[in-house]
Structure 1
Amino acid sequence: MKERTWLPGWTVERRAFDPAHTAKTESIYAQGNGYINVRCAEDERYVGQTRGTFATLTFNKALPDEVTELPNLPDVTAIDLTVNGERFSLDRGTYRDYLSRFDIRTGEVERSCVWTSPAGDAVRIRSRRMVSLAQKHVVAATLEIEALSGPVRLMVESGIDARMTNSGSQHLHDGEKRLIDGRILRMATRTSESRVPIAIHCEHSFSADPARALPVMQRRRFVMRYAFDLEPGVPLSMDKISCYHTGRDRSFASAERLGGIKDSARVLQVGDACITSVSSMGYEGLFEASRAAWERYWAHADVEIESDDPFDQLGMRFALYHLNIMIDRGEPRAGIGAKGMTGEGYKGHSFWDTEIFLLPYYALTDPAAARALLVYRYLSLPGAYAKAQENGYEGAMFPWESAWLDDGETTPLFGAADIVTGESIPILTGVLEHHITADIAWGVYLYHAVTGDEEFMDRYGCELMVECARFWASRVEWKPETRRYEITNVIGPDEYKEHVDNNAFTNYVAAFTLTHAADIIDAMPKRWPDACEQLSRRYNLHELAAKFRERAGGMYLPGPREDGLVPQNDQYLDLAEVDLSKYRSEAGVSSIFEDYGWEEANKVMVSKQADLVMLLRVMPDLFEPEVAKRNFVFYEGRCLHDSSLSHGQHGILAAWFGLEDMALDMYRHAVRVDFGENPTSSDEGIHSASMGNVWQCAACGFAGLMWEHGELSFANHLPGTWKRLAFEMSWQGSRLRVTVEPDAMTVEHLSGAPVSFTIDGRAFSVSHEEPQARCVCGAGDAA
Structure 2
Amino acid sequence: MMRQYLKKDEWKIIEEGFNPEHHTASESIFSLGNGQMGQRANFEEAWSGPTLRGSYIAGVYYPDKTRVGWWKNGYPEYFAKVINSPNWIGIDVNINDETLDLFKVSKVENFVRILDMKKGVLQRQFTATLNNGIRVSVTTERFLSMERPEVGAIRFSVTPENDDCNLIITPFIDGDVKNEDANYDEKFWNILSAEASAFEASLLSQTKKLDFRVGFAAKSIITGGETSNIQPIQNATFAGNQISLKAKKGEKIIVNKYVGVCSSLYHPAEQLLSQAKKQASEAAEVGFDNLLTEHAAHWENIWKHSDIKILGDVAAQQGIRFNIFQLNQTYTGKDERLNIGPKGFTGEKYGGSTYWDTEAYCIPFFLMTAPQKVVKNLLIYRYKHLGKAIENAQKLGFTDGAALYPMVTMNGEECHNEWEITFEEIHRNGAIAFAIHNYIRHTGDDAYLEQYGLEVLIGIARFWSQRATYSQEKQKFVILGVTGPNEYENNVNNNWYTNKIAQWCLNYAREAIDIVEKNNPQRLEEIIKKVKLDRNTETNMWKSVADNLYFPYYEEEGIFLQQDGYMDKEQITTDELSPSIRPLNQHWSWDRILRSCFIKQADTLQGIYLFEEEYDTETIRRNFAFYEPRTVHESSLSPCVHSILAARIGNVDKAYELYLRTSRLDLDDYNREVHEGLHITSMAGTWMSIVEGFGGKRVYDDRKLRLAPCIPEQWHEYSFRIRFRGNDLEVRVNQEQVEITCHGTGSTSLLLYNEEVDIPAGKSICKPLINNYYAKN
The normalised TM-score by structure 1 is: 0.92
Q: Which amino acid aligns with 1:196?
A: F
Partner of 1:284: 289
Q: Which amino acid aligns with 1:13?
A: I
Q: 1:378-417 to 2 correspondence within 5 Å?
A: 378-394=383-399, 395-406=401-412, 408-413=413-418
Q: 1:252-651 to 2 correspondence within 5 Å?
A: 252=267, 263-307=268-312, 309-366=313-370, 367-394=372-399, 395-406=401-412, 408-413=413-418, 427-529=419-521, 531-537=523-529, 538-559=532-553, 561-578=555-572, 580-581=574-575, 583=577, 585=579, 589-591=583-585, 594-595=587-588, 597-651=589-643
Counterparts of 2:442 and 2:249 in 1: how far apart (Å)? 62
Q: 2:173 aligns with which of 138, 142, 160?
A: 160
Partner of 1:19: 20
Query: SS state of the match for residue 726, structure 1?
Result: strand
Counterparts of 1:527 and 1:46 in 2: how far apart (Å)? 64
Query: SS state of the match for residue 779, structure 1?
Result: coil
Residue 667 (structure 2) pairs with residue 675 (structure 1): yes
For residues 406-458 of structure 1, give each alpha carbon's deviation from its aligned partner in whole angstroms, at most 9, with x where no partner exists: 4x001134xxxxxxxxxxxxx52011100000110011111111011133222
Partner of 1:36: 37
Counterparts of 2:573 and 2:496 in 1: how far apart (Å)? 25
Residue 709 (structure 2) pairs with residue 716 (structure 1): yes
Partner of 2:75: none
Residue 247 (structure 2) pairs with residue 235 (structure 1): no
Q: Which moved more, 1:604-613 or 1:455-464?
A: 455-464
Deviation at 1:84?
A: 0.7
Deviation at 1:216?
A: 1.8
Deviation at 1:598?
A: 1.7
Deviation at 1:8?
A: 5.6
Counterparts of 1:293 and 1:236 in 2: how far apart (Å)? 30
Partner of 2:3: none
Residue 95 (structure 2) pairs with residue 83 (structure 1): yes
Counterparts of 1:27 and 1:271 in 2: how far apart (Å)? 27
Residue 97 (structure 2) pairs with residue 72 (structure 1): no
User: Given the superposition, is the C-alpha separation of residues 147 and 582 from structure 1 closer, same or farther in structure 2, using an over 3 Å criterion?
Assistant: farther
Counterparts of 2:146 and 2:491 in 1: how far apart (Å)? 45
Counterparts of 1:7 and 1:740 in 2: how far apart (Å)? 23
Partner of 1:255: none
Q: Which moved more, 1:360-369 or 1:751-760?
A: 751-760
Q: Which amino acid aligns with 2:415?
A: T
Q: 1:239-250 to 2 correspondence within 5 Å?
A: 239-249=256-266
Q: Which amino acid aligns with 1:373?
A: L
Equivalent pair of 1:336/1:349 in contact (CA under 8 Å): yes
Counterparts of 1:400 and 1:684 in 2: how far apart (Å)? 23
Q: Which moved more, 1:560-569 or 1:152-161?
A: 560-569
The normalised TM-score by structure 2 is: 0.93
Equivalent pair of 1:148/1:233 in contact (CA under 8 Å): yes
Counterparts of 1:660 and 1:286 in 2: how far apart (Å)? 44
Equivalent pair of 1:399/1:430 in contact (CA under 8 Å): no
For residues 681-709 of structure 1, give each alpha carbon's deviation from its aligned partner in whole angstroms, at most 9, with x where no partner exists: 31121102321111001000001001111
Partner of 2:237: 220
Counterparts of 1:544 and 1:579 in 2: how far apart (Å)? 44
Counterparts of 2:502 and 2:450 in 1: how far apart (Å)? 22
Deviation at 1:39?
A: 0.6
Q: Which amino acid aligns with 2:53?
A: R
Q: Which amino acid aligns with 1:643?
A: S
Q: Which moved more, 1:195-204 or 1:715-724?
A: 715-724
For residues 701-728 of structure 1, give each alpha carbon's deviation from its aligned partner in whole angstroms, at most 9, with x where no partner exists: 0010011112211112211121212111
User: Given the superposition, is the C-alpha separation of residues 660 and 353 from structure 1 closer, same or farther in structure 2, using an over 3 Å criterion?
Assistant: same
Residue 125 (structure 2) pairs with residue 109 (structure 1): no
Counterparts of 1:644 and 1:105 in 2: how far apart (Å)? 25
Equivalent pair of 1:202/1:243 in contact (CA under 8 Å): yes
Counterparts of 1:117 and 1:587 in 2: how far apart (Å)? 42
Q: Which amino acid aligns with 1:368?
A: K
Residue 186 (structure 2) pairs with residue 192 (structure 1): no
Counterparts of 1:38 and 1:733 in 2: how far apart (Å)? 34
Which ranges in structure 1 are unaligned for 5 or more consecutive residues? 1-5, 253-262, 414-426
Deviation at 1:40?
A: 0.7
Counterparts of 1:739 and 1:533 in 2: how far apart (Å)? 48
User: Given the superposition, is the C-alpha separation of residues 372 and 761 from structure 1 closer, same or farther in structure 2, using an over 3 Å criterion?
Assistant: same
Aligned length, in residue pairs: 747
Counterparts of 1:499 and 1:572 in 2: how far apart (Å)? 12
Deviation at 1:399?
A: 4.0
Partner of 2:680: 688
CA RMSD of aligned residues (A): 2.1
User: Given the superposition, is the C-alpha separation of residues 679 and 612 from structure 1 closer, same or farther in structure 2, using an over 3 Å criterion?
Assistant: closer
Deviation at 1:485?
A: 1.0
Q: Which amino acid aligns with 2:284?
A: S
Query: SS state of the match for residue 614, structure 2?
Result: coil
Query: SS state of the match for residue 687, structure 2?
Result: helix
